Amino acid sequence: MHFRDFISSVMFSVLLNLMILNLIFGVQRAFSSQNLNEQTLELLMRPSIKKEGKFLNYHQERNPTMVKGFKLMWKFLFSDNQRKPKQKLSVQPVNLEIFKQNSKDYLSSTWLGHSFLMINVDGYRLLTDPVFEKKVSFFGPSRYNGEVPIKPDSLPEIDLVLISHNHYDHLNKFSIKALQHKVKWFLTPLGVKKILVNWGMPQEKVVELDWWQSWNFNDELQIVFTPTQHFSGRNFFDRNETLWGSFVVKGPVHKIFYGGDSGYFDGFRGIGQQFGPFDLTFLECGTYNVKDWPDVHMLPEQTVQAHLDLGGKILHPIHWGTFNLAFHPWNEPMERVSKAATQYGVRLATPIVGQSVIFPDQIPNEAWWQTGEQEEMKRALNY
Ligand SMILES: [Zn+2]
C-alpha cells in the first residue's frame, strides 16, 4: 500500500462518510429527465467491475491530495456550523400494526432515522440498513435525534433486510445480530456476505447480489440490486473491496426504490427507464459537500432530480437528521429539498422518527425541522 493510500484510508476510518474523492462528475443538471440513449444505457447495465481487488464506480476517479485530506479532517473535528440541533428532536412511538399489515395491496414505511426504514410492500415486511445503536463506531458520531423508538425484540417476523453497503452507518453489527432470528433473508452487495457470516449468520440466510441482479421471494416480490455512485470500507485497508448499491422492490401491486448512499449520476435515469415509475422513492439528501466530496453524496436539489429521473410519485428523503457526518447545518438538507420539491411539483413525505407513511393518502408533510435557528439559516442561505 502506498503511503498516500494509507493516509487516505486512516482519514476514512475516522470520518466515516467523509470520502475525499474528487470525481469528475457531479455537476447539477437542469430539472428535467430525458431518457438515456441506447448506448449509454447499455454501458450502464453492465455488472460491477473490479480492478486490482477494488470495485469501481461507473465514472473515473481522481485521488485527493494529502494536504487537503488533513485540512478536512481538522475542519470536521474542530469547526462548529449548527451541525446538530440545539433542542432534542421529537420522536414518535412506532405503530407496529402498520408494519404488520397482510394486505396484498398495501404500501407503508416507518422512518427510524438516517437510512433505517421499516417498509411493508404488499404484505411483505422489509427493513433497510437497520441501525439500532446510538453510536455507529468507536470514532463515529452518535445519533442526535433520540433513541430508536422500537427495540429489535418487539419486531414481528421480517421477510427481508436490505443492506446497501458496508459503511458503519448502514451495516451495524449489534443490529444484525439482534435481528438474525427474526429475519428470513438478508440481501447484500457482493463481498458483504462474508462480514455477516463472520458475525455468526448462517450462510444460507444471506443472498449476495451484483448490480442489476434480480432475486425473487415467494414468486411474488422481485428485488433488483442496482448501482449507485459511492464507495465502501470499514477499516484502514478494505476500501472498495465490497460493492455498494440500491434496491428496486417490486411487489404484486406496488413498486419502491431504496437508494442507499449515492452521488448524483445518470444511473438514476437508467434505473427509471428499466424499472420506473416508483410509488415511493427513498433517497439520501444529507452528508453532501459540493467542494470536497461532490460525487459520493447528493446535494438536496440532486435528490429531487434523482427522484424525477426515477419516475417517482412520492419522495421520502433519508440519510439526514440523525448522525453528524458533514459540515452543513443539520436541517439544511430538508430546507433545500423542500424548496426544490415545491419548485418542481414533487410530493414529499417528511415523517419524524417513528412516524409512518401510508401510500397514497397518509403522507406526513410538515416542515418540522424548522426551528428558531431557521430564520438565521435562511438569511445565510439567501432564501
Ligand atoms: Zn456510505
Q: Mind listing the pLDDT tens digit for each residue in 221-245?
A: 999 999 999 999 998 889 899 999 9
The CA 126 to ligand 1 mean position distance, Å, reads 20
Cα-Cα-Cα-Cα torsion 42, 47, 51, 56, nearest 10 degrees, comes to 80
pLDDT of 141 > 80? The answer is: no
The CA 172 to ligand 1 mean position distance, Å, reads 12
The CA 76 to ligand 1 mean position distance, Å, reads 17
Section 278-298 average pLDDT: 89
Report how far residue 200's alpha carbon sits from residue 351's, in angstroms, rounded to the nearest whole number: 34
Query: Where would I find the beta strands (DSSP E) of the chain?
Result: 22-23, 50-51, 54-55, 61-62, 107-111, 117-121, 124-128, 158-162, 183-189, 206-209, 214-217, 221-226, 246-250, 255-258, 278-284, 312-318, 347-348, 356-358
Q: What is the pLDDT of residue 28?
A: 42
The CA 239 to ligand 1 mean position distance, Å, reads 12
Q: What is the pLDDT of residue 70?
A: 64
Q: What is the pLDDT of residue 375?
A: 53
Section 165-175 average pLDDT: 96
The CA 294 to ligand 1 mean position distance, Å, reads 13
The CA 379 to ligand 1 mean position distance, Å, reads 31
Q: What is the pLDDT of residue 319?
A: 96
Q: What is the pLDDT of residue 221?
A: 97
Neighbours of ion ligand 1 (CB under 5 A): 167, 261
The CA 88 to ligand 1 mean position distance, Å, reads 25
The CA 356 to ligand 1 mean position distance, Å, reads 24
The CA 18 to ligand 1 mean position distance, Å, reads 9
The CA 228 to ligand 1 mean position distance, Å, reads 10
The CA 162 to ligand 1 mean position distance, Å, reads 14
Provide the grid cell at 77. 473535528
Q: What is the pLDDT of residue 89?
A: 85
Ranking 8-22, 61-75, 101-115, 285-299 by mean pLDDT, the lowest is 8-22
The CA 136 to ligand 1 mean position distance, Å, reads 12
Side chain identity at 228, as an amino acid letter?
A: T
The CA 378 to ligand 1 mean position distance, Å, reads 28
The CA 245 to ligand 1 mean position distance, Å, reads 10
Q: What is the pLDDT of residue 280?
A: 98
Which domains does the chain carry? 3-23+55-381 (3.60.15.10)
Section 6-35 average pLDDT: 43
CA-closest candidate to residue 26, choices 302, 268, 334, 308: 302
Residue 357's SS3 state is strand
The CA 361 to ligand 1 mean position distance, Å, reads 32
Q: N- to C-terminal Cα distance for the chain? A: 47
Q: Which residue has the higher pLDDT, 69 or 253?
A: 253
pLDDT of 9 > 60? The answer is: no
pLDDT of 13 > 60? The answer is: no
Q: What is the pLDDT of residue 183?
A: 98
Section 61-70 average pLDDT: 56
- Percent of the chain, pLDDT > 90? 65
Section 352-365 average pLDDT: 96
Per the prediction, the chain carries an average pLDDT of: 86
The CA 112 to ligand 1 mean position distance, Å, reads 17
Beta bridge partners of 187: 162, 207
Q: Which residue has the higher pLDDT, 2 or 344?
A: 344
| Preceding amide of 277 cis, omega within 30 | yes
Section 339-366 average pLDDT: 96
The CA 175 to ligand 1 mean position distance, Å, reads 17
The CA 143 to ligand 1 mean position distance, Å, reads 16
Q: What is the pLDDT of residue 346?
A: 97
* Rg (alpha carbons) of the chain, rounded to whole number: 19
Q: What is the pLDDT of residue 86?
A: 80
Report how far residue 10's alpha carbon sits from residue 5's, in angstroms, rounded to the nearest whole number: 9
The CA 231 to ligand 1 mean position distance, Å, reads 7
Q: What is the pLDDT of residue 84?
A: 80
Ranking 6-20, 94-108, 164-178, 294-308 by mean pLDDT, the lowest is 6-20
The CA 253 to ligand 1 mean position distance, Å, reads 30
Section 8-29 average pLDDT: 37
Q: What is the pLDDT of residue 327?
A: 78
The CA 101 to ligand 1 mean position distance, Å, reads 31
The CA 122 to ligand 1 mean position distance, Å, reads 28
The CA 232 to ligand 1 mean position distance, Å, reads 7
Q: What is the pLDDT of residue 373?
A: 55
At residue 40's C-alpha, the angle toward residues 34 and 42, to 5°, is 120
The CA 205 to ligand 1 mean position distance, Å, reads 24
pLDDT of 85 > 90? The answer is: no
